Amino acid sequence: MHVLTGFVRFWYDFIIGDDWMIAAAVAITLVILALLAHAAPWFLLPVVVILALGFSLWRATR
């Protein structure tokens, strides 16, 4: 069990790192885009990326 949790924690730190909210924002946006498929607005993900990055930086520096 200890090995399993260590393995999961390693990959969590490796990919997601310090701020899980960025990963959550990206995941939610991709789900929305996938549901909308070809009707999805192309600018949605870049806008979410910029806002999520800015919000994360603000949280890290306040």
Q: Which residues bind another protein (CB under 8 A)?
A: 14-19, 22-23, 26-27, 30, 33-34, 36-38, 40-42, 44-46, 49-50, 52-54, 56-57, 60-61
Q: Residue 55: which residues within 8 A CB-CB, separation 6 or more?
A: 21
Name which of 8 and 53 has its Cβ closer to another protein.
53
Length of the chain counted residue by residue: 62
What is the closest distance, in whole angstroms, from the C-beta atom of residue 47 to another protein in the complex?
Answer: 10
Query: Cβ 2 to another protein, closest distance in Å?
Result: 18
Q: Are 48 and 24 in contact (CB under 8 A)?
A: no
Token output for 28: 């939610």
